[in-house]
Chain A
Amino acid sequence: MGPKVIEDSRRQFLIQSMTGVSAAWLAASWPEIAAAAETSWGQYTGAWTRFAFFTQAQGATVDAMAAQIFPTTDTPGAKEAQAIIFIDTALVTFAKDQQAVVTAGLDDLSRRVTAQGGRNFESLTTAQQITLLTAIQTTPFFRAIRDLTVMGMFAAPQHGGNFNKVGWKLIGFDDSLNFHTPFGSYDV
C-alpha cells in the first residue's frame, strides 16, 4: 500500500468517524487511525493536495489565516498542529452547515486582497494579513475560521489537527485520563 492510498483511507476514516458512527466504533478503530496519521500526515509540509472541501487555493489561504490566528512563535502554532487538515475535515463533517459562510467569506477576502493590489492573502506581509483579518474579525466567516483553528489546536489528534499533541503540550494537558494525587502544586 503506497502512501497515497494510506492518506485516502485515513481521510475516509476521519469523515466516517464524524458522521454518525458510534463512539464504540471510533474507540475500536483508534489504533488504525493513529497508525494512518503517523505514516501519512507526519509528512505534511503545508502543500496538502487532497482537501475534502477546499480548493488548493482556498486551502492555502485558510492555512495562512490559521497561522495568524494561532501563530508560530517560540512555540508551535496552527502550522505545526496542521490545523488546516482539521478545518478542512470539519467542513465536510460536523461543521458542514458553515460551508456557505466559509466559501462566501473566502471570496470576499479574495476581493479585498485584489482591491489593495495583492495576488492572494498568503503572499501578503504579516502586517498586511493582520490588518485585513482585523478588518473582518467580527464577521461570521472569520469567527468560523477562528473557532475551527482553535479546535484544530486542541481537539484530539485523530480529528486531523493537534499533530503530535502540540496543542495539548502548549497548555500542559495530559490526556492519560487516569491520575493520582497530588494533581497540582497546591494540593493538600
Chain B
Amino acid sequence: MQKYDPSTEVDFVVIGSGAAGGVMARQLSQAGFSVVVLEQGGWGAFGHEQDYNKDELSNRYPADVDKLISDPNLHRNTFRRNAGETATRGGHNYGCVVGGGTVTYGASSWRHLPWEFNEASVFGTMAGTGIADWPISYAELEPYYTMAEWELGISGERIDTPFMAPMSKPYPLPPQPIKSSGALAKLAAGKLGLTVVPNVAAIITEPYKGRGACINCGMCSGYGCQTKSRSSSAVALLPDAVATGKCEIRANAYVREISTDRNGKVTGAVYIDKAANNREVFQKAKVVVLSANGTETPRLLLMSKSARFPNGLANSSGVVGKYLMSGNGGGASALFDQPLNEYKGCVTGAAVLDFVPNDVKGRGFYGGGRMTARGFTSPIAYGLSGVHGAPTWGVAYKKALIEQANRKMVLANFISQMPIETNCVDLDPEVKDAWGLPAMRITSTSHPNDFKAMEFFRDKSVEILKAAGAKEVWADNISDSRGGAHSRGTCRMGNDPKTSVVNKFHRAHDVPNLFVVDGSSFVTGGRNHPTMTISALAFRAAEHLAAAAKTGNVKI
C-alpha cells in the first residue's frame, strides 16, 4: 500500500472508511488523486476475511483487536429525551473498523422512492417537524444508485410496483432465497392482498468481481463475512482504492479535529494514533472529506471549534447535529407448528412493501415503513432472552425454550422518523470518552406521529402473522429510539446556507474545501434502510468532486 508522510500535503483526506468513505476513497484515487483514509477503528480482518470469527461468545466479548463495532464503554456517549434532562450513560454504537458499518451490517440495500426527495412539496410539512425537500431529485440520483448497485454487487429483484423505485437497470445479481419467514409472509399476503418481495441486499448470490457467492452461514448481521459475499466497503471498494497506488488507509486513526487556517479553509486533520500510544498526528491535505457517519460527523465538526468557527466548523447555520433521525421499530413475533430454521441464510428476509407510501387520510399518520420478515436469534441470544411467555429459568423455561426453538418468526419494521430540530447530536459538557474527548450526547424524542406509525406497524404485524397461521402471536412493546443504527440527517443538505450545512454537492456552505458525505446529508429519513442512498450520494459527490478538482473549482 502507498504510504504518505503526514507532513506531505495530500489531495484528499477522507475521514471514515464505510459506505460513503469507501466510495470517496475509491473514486478519488481512481481519478488520480492522492488520498489518505483515516479510520478510527482497527483493521478487522481486512485482506484476510476468511479469519472473521463466527463464534457467538467471542463476538459478544471480543478482544480489543477483534472489535468491529464501537464499544460504548470506551466511545462513551450519553442520552437524554429532551434538553430539560441531564443526559445519562448511553449505549449508542456504530461500525468501527476498516470498512465501517458495512463490515457487520445486515446489508439491506433499498433505494429511496422518488417522492421521498420532495415530500414537503408533495405532501406538505407538519407542525413540529423540519420536513423539507432535498435539493436533488430522484432523477438526479438514479444513475448513481445504478452505479452503486453494479460497483458494489447488490442482489434483488426489479419489480414493477409503485412500492419500489423505478430502476434504469436491473440488479446485477439474483435475489437471495425466500426463507420460511418470507414464505409465511407470502401466504398471509395472498389472503390480505399484500406485496411481498425478496430482500434487496449487498450480498452476492453468484460469484461477482472475484468474490464468491453467499453460503448462507446465517451468522451474518454483527459478524464479519468470511467468504467476502457481503459487499462491504472493505471488500468491494477499498481494495480498488489501494490498488491505484494512490490511496493509503490508516486504521486506528481517531480524528479529534479538522484544522483550519486564518482564511477559514481546512488544512488537514489531527488524529490520535491509537496503535502508537495515542500520539497525535497532523495529516496535511488540500481537501477534507468527512464521512464519519450520522453521529460522529456532526460531533467532529462541533469539536473542531476555532476563533473563526466558534460554534463548530461549518456551523454558521447552527444546524450541525440537528434533525437527527435514527431507526424506529415496532413489530411482532409469532410461533408456528413446524421448524422454520431461520438461522440458516441471511438474517433479513423478505419485505412487505404495501405500507411504504404515505397514506395520511387512510392510516391517520404521516409516513410509512418497510416490514421485513426474519426469525433468527443466535443460540446464546435466544437462550438469554428469546423465549416468549415463560419464566427465565427452571423446568418451564426449558420446556418453552425447546418448544419455541426454530419455530418463530418476526416482522421487524423500519419506520420513517420525522426530522425534528431538537433531536440532535452535540457534545456532552461533562463526560469524556476514553481518549479524553468530549463524549457524544444524543437528545431524542420521537414525534407523536411516529408513535402512531409504530402502533400501526405493530398491529399490522399481528394481523399478518395471524393470517399466516401462527399458533401464537406476541406484539412488541412500543419503545422510542435511543440512537443506534441508521442515524442520519445531522448535516442536512440544502440550497440555503442559513438552514442547511452542505450544498447539493456536499460542499460545506461555510468552508470551500470541506465536503461532508454520509448519512448526515439526508434531509428526510426515508422509509427504507439508508445505506444504499448513502452509497449513491457518495458516487455522485465523488464524480462531482473529481471534476471540480480537475477544473480548479476545488483547488488541488
Contact = CB atoms under 8 A, between A and B. Distances in A.
Interface of A: 17-24, 26-27, 68-71, 73, 75, 77, 94, 130, 133, 137, 146-147, 149-151, 153-156, 158-159, 167-168, 170-174, 177-181, 183-188
B180 A146 contact: no
Interface in B212-230: 215-219
Contacts of B65: 20, 22
B487 interface: no
B54 A177 contact: yes
Interface in B37-59: 45, 48, 51-58
B382 interface: yes
B178 A188 contact: yes
Contact of A156 (B55, B336, B338, B405): B55
A170 B405 contact: yes
B61 A94 contact: yes
B254 to A, nearest CB: 20
A177 B215 contact: yes
Interface string B168-194: 000000000111101110110000000
9 contacts: A24-B45, A69-B394, A70-B397, A137-B392, A177-B218, A180-B216, A185-B338, A186-B340, A188-B178
A178 B405 contact: no
A184 B341 contact: yes
Contacts, number: 159
Nearest to B391: A137
B393 A146 contact: yes
Given A137-B392, A167-B379, A184-B339, 7 more contacts: A68-B393, A146-B392, A171-B382, A171-B383, A172-B406, A187-B177, A187-B183
B345 A150 contact: no
A186 B342 CA distance: 11
Contacts of A23: 45, 51-53, 55, 58, 62-63, 66
Contact of B177 (A173, A178, A181): A181
Contacts of A19: 63
Contact of A70 (B56, B340, B398): B398
Contacts of A155: 55-57, 379-380
Q: Which 5 A-B pairs have the closest CB atoms?
A: A184-B180, A185-B338, A23-B53, A171-B405, A94-B61
B83 interface: no
Interface of B: 45, 48, 51-58, 60-66, 177-180, 182-184, 186-187, 215-219, 336, 338-345, 379-380, 382-384, 392-395, 397-399, 401-402, 405-406
B394 A172 contact: no
A50 to B, nearest CB: 22
Contact of A184 (B51, B58, B60, B179): B179
| Interface of chain A, main secondary structure | loop
Contacts of B338: 184-186
A71 B398 contact: yes
B395 to A, nearest CB: 6
Contact of B344 (A150, A170, A184, A188): A184
Nearest to B179: A183
A179 B345 contact: yes
B55 A26 contact: yes
B468 to A, nearest CB: 9
Q: Of residues A151, A180, A188, which shows the largest number of chain B Cβ atoms within 10 Å of its Cβ?
A: A188
A187 B394 CA distance: 34
A179 B216 contact: yes
Contacts of B177: 181, 183, 187
A71 B395 contact: yes
Nearest to B402: A170
Contacts of A27: 51, 53
A6 to B, nearest CB: 22
Contacts of A130: 394
A10 B57 CA distance: 18
A109 to B, nearest CB: 15
Nearest to A176: B217
Contacts of B215: 177-179
B383 to A, nearest CB: 4
A186 B401 contact: no
B341 A172 contact: yes
Contacts of B218: 177, 179
A150 B341 contact: no
Given A20-B64, A187-B179, A26 B58 contact: yes
Contacts of A146: 392-393
A70 B51 contact: no
Nearest to A22: B65
Contacts of A18: 58, 61
Nearest to B66: A23
B196 to A, nearest CB: 10
B216 to A, nearest CB: 4
B342 A73 contact: no
B176 to A, nearest CB: 10
A186 B336 contact: yes
B383 A154 contact: yes
Given A172-B339, A183-B344, A156 B56 contact: yes
A178 B395 contact: no
